[in-house]
C-alpha cells in the first residue's frame, strides 16, 4: 500500500501477493534459458508446452473469424452462446453428460485463470482446501490469493497416485471446503477410474466439500483407455465442477481458451467474479474453439497416438540404461525416480549442467514429489532418445 509522505518507490505489495508461492515454472524456464543463452543445445523436457501446432482447420476458422466486424466489439458477458452450446455438445458426445449451457458452463481465459479464480469465488480467508501432492502448483497460487489454507493429500505410488480419503484426519475433513483433483495427472501420469470418482462424490457430499476436477489432460489416455470425466459420475454435479482446457487437446496453449462445467452455484460464482474481472474472451477465439470442439476429432486421435509412441520409446530407452520408471497411463508426462544419492533438485541440476537435458524436479510439485523428476513427452522421439543417451554418458545409472 502507498504510505503518505513516503517516496512512491516504497510501494509495497499486498499481503495476498506476499503469500504467493514461488512461480515454479518461471524459475525453471529461466534456469533453462541461461544454458540456451550460453549457446548449449538444451533438450528441454522440463516444460509442459505442447510442441505441435494447432490443427489447420482451427487456425483457418480463427483467420476467418478475425475478419468479422461483430467480433471486434466487446464479447458478451459470460461468453458467446454458440460456444456454450458447443461445449454442451462436446460433453454429450464424448462423455454422455448433459449440461445446461446457461447455468452449468463458464468460459475461461485458460484453465489456469479458472483454477486460480475459484478459491476467490468460493472461499473466505482461513478456509481450508485439499490439494494433491505432488500436484499442479497453480492451485496453491489461487489458495494464497484467497488467503485460504491448504492441506496436502499425498499421492503415492503405492496408492496409484490417488488420494487416500480414509487417511484424512477428521478435523481436516470437517474444515475442508474445496478439493482439487487432476486426472490424467500432472505430474505423475496416473489416471483415475470411475470407481475412484464414485468414492470422491461420496467423500465430498459427506463432508460438504466442493470438488474441482482439473481435466486438462482428459484427451490423453494410453493403452486404449479413455480417461473418464468426473461429471460422468452419479451425483458429481451436486458436489463440484470440471475444468477443461483446449490447450492440450487441440494444441491451443497460446490461445487461452478453456471452460468449467458442472455445479450451478459454483459456475454462477465463477461467472460473477469473471464479470467483474474480464469481459470474456475475444469472440474469434471463441469461434475457433467451437470449431475445435464440434469439428473432426481425427487430430486428437493422431495427437494421442503420437504421445503414446513417444512414451513407449522414452520409457524403453530409459529402461535400456537401467533407469526404470512406470509408463504413464495418461497426460504427456513421465514421472521418473531419481537415482540413489540424489535429490530431485541435485539430479536435475547435474543433468542440466552436464548433459544439457532439462527435467522438472519433482519437489517443485510438493514435498511428496521429492525423489522424482517429471519429463514432458514434448519433443521428437529422436530428441528424447538423445536425451537418454546423454544421461547414459554421464554414467550415473
Ligand atoms: C494440470 C494442469 N491444469 C491446468 C493447466 C493450465 O491450462 P491452460 O493452458 O488452459 O491455462 C495446465 C497446464 O500446464 C496443467 O498442467
pTM: 0.96
Start-end of H helices in 130-282 = 138-145, 170-175, 194-207, 236-239, 246-249, 264-277
pLDDT in tens, 198-218: 999 999 999 999 999 999 999
- For ligand 1, mutation pick of 216, 227, 335 (most atoms within 8 Å of CB): 216
Going by C-alpha positions, the residue among 362, 312, 286 that lies closest to residue 85 is 286
Write the residue with the smallest CA distance to atom 16 of ligand 1.
Answer: 186
pLDDT in tens, 47-63: 899 999 999 999 999 99
**Is 361:344 a contact under the CB 8 Å cutoff?**
yes
Q: Is the CB of 263 under 6 A from ligand 1?
A: no
> In whole angstroms, what is the distance from residue 370 CA to residue 392 CA?
22
- Residue 77 CB: number of other CB atoms within 10 A? 11
What residues contact residue 327 under an 8 Å CB cut-off, 6+ apart?
189, 222, 311, 312, 315, 334
pLDDT in tens, 157-170: 999 999 999 999 99
* Residue reference for cell 489447420: 56
- Crossing angle of the two packed helices 344-355 and 381-393, in degrees rounded to 10: 100
How high is the mean pLDDT of the chain? 95
- How many angstroms separate the alpha carbon of residue 258 from the centre of ligand 1? 9
**Is 360:378 a contact under the CB 8 Å cutoff?**
no
The pLDDT of residue 138 is 93
Atom of ligand 1 nearest to the CA of 115: 4
Amino acid at each position: 500500500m502507498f504510505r503518505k509522505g513516503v517516496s512512491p518507490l516504497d510501494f509495497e505489495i499486498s499481503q495476498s501477493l506476499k503469500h504467493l508461492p514461488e512461480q515454479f515454472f518461471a524459475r525453471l524456464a529461466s534456469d533453462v534459458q541461461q544454458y540456451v543463452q550460453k549457446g548449449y543445445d538444451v533438450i528441454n523436457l522440463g516444460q509442459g508446452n505442447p510442441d505441435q501446432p494447432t490443427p489447420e482447420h482451427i487456425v483457418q476458422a480463427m483467420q476467418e473469424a478475425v475478419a468479422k466486424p461483430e467480433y471486434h466489439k466487446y464479447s458478451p458477458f459470460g461468453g458467446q452462446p454458440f460456444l456454450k452450446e458447443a461445449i454442451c455438445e462436446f460433453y454429450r458426445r464424448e462423455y454422455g453428460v448433459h449440461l445446461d449451457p446457461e447455468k452449468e458452463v463458464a468460459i475461461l481465459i485458460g484453465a489456469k485463470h479458472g483454477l486460480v479464480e475459484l478459491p476467490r469465488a468460493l472461499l473466505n480467508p482461513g478456509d481450508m482446501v485439499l490439494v494433491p501432492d505432488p500436484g499442479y502448483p497453480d492451485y496453491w497460487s489461487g489458495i494464497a490469493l484467497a488467503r485460504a489454507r491448504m492441506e496436502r493429500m499425498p499421492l503415492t505410488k503405492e496408492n496409484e497416485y490417488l488420494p487416500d480419503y480414509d487417511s484424512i484426519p477428521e478435523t481436516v475433513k470437517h474444515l475442508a471446503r474445496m478439493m482439487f483433483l487432476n486426472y490424467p495427472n500432472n505430474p505423475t501420469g496416473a489416471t483415475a477410474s470411475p470407481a475412484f470418482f464414485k468414492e470422491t462424490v461420496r467423500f465430498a457430499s459427506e463432508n460438504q466439500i466442493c470438488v474441482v476436477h482439473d481435466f486438462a489432460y482428459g484427451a490423453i489416455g494410453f493403452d486404449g483407455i479413455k480417461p473418464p470425466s468426473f461429471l460422468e459420475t452419479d451425483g458429481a454435479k451436486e458436489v463440484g465442477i470440471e475444468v477443461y482446457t483446449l490447450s492440450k487437446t487441440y494444441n491451443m496453449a497460446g490461445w487461452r481458451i478453456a471452460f468449467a462445467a458442472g455445479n450451478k452455484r459454483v459456475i454462477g460464482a465463477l461467472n460473477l467474479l469473471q464479470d467483474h474481472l474480464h469481459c470474456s474472451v475475444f469472440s474469434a477465439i471463441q469461434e475457433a474453439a467451437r470449431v475445435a470442439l464440434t469439428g473432426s476429432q481425427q487430430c486428437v486421435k493422431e495427437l494421442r497416438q503420437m504421445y503414446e509412441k513417444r512414451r513407449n520409446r522414452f520409457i524403453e530407452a530409459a529402461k535400456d540404461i537401467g533407469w526404470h520408471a512406470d509408463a504413464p497411463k495418461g497426460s504427456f508426462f513421465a514421472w521418473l525416480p531419481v537415482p540413489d544419492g540424489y535429490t530431485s533438485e541435485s539430479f536435475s541440476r547435474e543433468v542440466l549442467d552436464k548433459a544439457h537435458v532439462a527435467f522438472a524436479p519433482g519437489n517443485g510439485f510438493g514435498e511428496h514429489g521429492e525423489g522424482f523428476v517429471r519429463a514432458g513427452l514434448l519433443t521428437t522421439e529422436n530428441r528424447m532418445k538423445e536425451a537418454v543417451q546423454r544421461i547414459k554418458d554421464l554414467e550415473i545409472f
